Amino acid sequence: MEQFLTVLLFIVGLGLIIKGGDWFVDAASAFAEATGIPKFVVGATVVSFATTLPELIVSVLAVIEGSNGIAIGNAVGSVTANMGLIMGVSVLCLPAVVKIKDFAVKSLIMIGATVALMLCCLGGEMRLWGAFIVLAFLVLFFTTTLVSLKKDRAGTEDAARLKPTRKEWVMTVLKFIFGAAGIVGGAQLLVTYGTKLAAMLGVPDSVIGLTMVAVGTSLPELVTAIVAIAKKETSMSVGNILGANIIDMTLILPVCTFISSGGVLTVDSLTVYRDVPFTIAIMLVAVVPTLFMKKLKRWQGAVMLAIYAAFVVLTVVMK
């Protein structure tokens, strides 16, 4: 009976994230077209915050329950999954042309935040001063986004746009809310029962956080990416992944540090010396060639997937 219930809830969760993803991307795309805000920016801000909610919720609850391994592994593992698995699959399926100015700024902030996070945790723990340093990158991210948005709006202020009716706005908002709820709720079902199964098999907290929970809480980004590919909205997908990674790295661990006992978050040495370097390696493959080619190409997706596969194998072997 318990096995049947697990399978049933898995199917329900899958259905929720599929339909939720469809509504979510439609609503975000409609919002971008109606307001004139570039889809890359919408993906990097509004969509990113919504798809990052599972990671934030899971990590905060894990710290409250004393499972720091899951909290930290989830945050770092989610970024690795976002880059290696989700962006890798996305680019392999459909290469993306990027607006180099927006891409360069956000990708460099992402790499800078990840390096800063690693340096702040070298002693095996993150303290309040380190949390504030990492959080500063989130402030920088939103500041640069607002400046870029003002410039874009100033240049397209007189551009003709179809203004949606009140009914269309209401439908867009409802699709966005229910789409996000479907994605988050569906992902939570998969994470809950996947984690339960892994724990029954004796898999350590840190491994669960880095693999099953990380991939599970990254499902919103994965669903958004897949739907965006199907709808030819790769710019939104790339923006979503970059924005989600920045928020994951600059918000989740600082918040976990703030609520930790004594304002100190203990960090496993493997996370600092193995997991974060893998994440940085995948980021460099995605970012450096793109800055010169102005396009994410299929070979980058293949390399990112290969590095991610190596990361997962090494994580399981070195558990």
Contact 178, 20 (CB under 8 A): yes
Is the pLDDT assigned to residue 85 strictly greater than 80?
yes
Q: Which two tokens stand for residue 36?
A: 């004139």
Rounded Cα distance between 234 and 295, Å, is 11
pLDDT in tens, 261-295: 777 888 888 888 888 999 999 999 999 999 998 88
Check residues 252 and 14 and name the one with the higher pLDDT. 252
When comparing pLDDT for 299 and 79, which is higher?
Answer: 299
Rg of the chain over CA atoms, in angstroms?
A: 19
Answer whether residue 154 shows pLDDT above 60: no
Q: Say whether 212 sits in a helix, a strand or coil.
A: helix
- Residue whose structure tokens are 């999954």: 81
Return the CATH number at 227: 1.20.1420.30
Number of domains in the chain: 1
Would you say residue 239 has pLDDT above 50? yes
Mean pLDDT of 119-148: 88
How far is the CA of 200 from the CAs of 95, 193, 208, 315, in angstroms? Answer: 40, 11, 11, 19
Residue 206 confidence (pLDDT) above 60: no
Answer whether residue 162 is part of any domain. no
Query: What number is the average pLDDT over the span 98-110?
Result: 85
261/206: higher pLDDT: 261
The verdict on residue 172 lying in a domain is yes
Query: Which of residues 283 and 244 earns the better pLDDT score?
Result: 283
Compute the distance between CA of residue 170 and CA of residue 236 in angstroms, rounded to an integer: 22
Expressed as residue numbers, the domain containing 8 is 2-151+167-317
Task: Give the model's pLDDT for residue 160.
Answer: 47
In a domain, 160, yes or no: no
Q: Which residues of 188-209 are buried (b: 16+ CB within 10 A; e: fewer)?
A: bbbbbbbbeebeeeebebbbbb
* Position 72 in a domain: yes
CB 107 within 8 A of CB 294: no
The per-residue pLDDT for 210 is 56
Most confident stretch, 53-57, 90-94, 234-238: 90-94
* pLDDT tens digits, 43-57: 666 666 666 766 677
Strand partners, 125: 266
Residue 161 lies inside a defined structural domain of this protein: no
Q: What percent of the chain has pLDDT over 70?
A: 63
Give the span between the Cα atoms of 60 and 191, in whole angstroms.
15
What CA–CA distances, in Å, run from 164 to 35, 45, 80, 155, 306? Answer: 10, 22, 38, 21, 44
Residue 157 pLDDT > 60? no
pLDDT at 102: 76
Q: Count Cα atoms within 13 angstroms, Cβ side, for 199.
A: 11
User: Is 287 part of a structural domain of the chain?
Assistant: yes
Q: How far is CA 87 from the centre of its chain?
A: 10
Where are the strands (E) in the chain, listed by range? 96-97, 125-126, 265-266, 295-296
pLDDT the model gives residue 158: 47
- Prediction pTM value: 0.73
Distance, in Å, from the CA atom of 30 to the CA atom of 88, rounded to the nearest integer, reads 26
Average pLDDT, integer, range 91-112: 84
> Are β-strands 125-126 and 96-97 bridged in parallel, bridged antiparallel, or unpaired?
unpaired
Which carries the bigger pLDDT value, residue 319 or residue 85? 85
* pLDDT tens, residue by residue, 207-230: 655 555 556 656 666 666 766 666
Tokens of 289: 């060639």
pLDDT score recorded for residue 57? 72
**Percent of the chain as helix, strand, coil, to the nearest 5:** 85, 5, 15
Averaged over 151-165, what is the pLDDT?
A: 57
pLDDT for 36 equals: 64
Q: Is residue 158 part of a domain?
A: no
The more confidently predicted of residues 48 and 142 is: 142
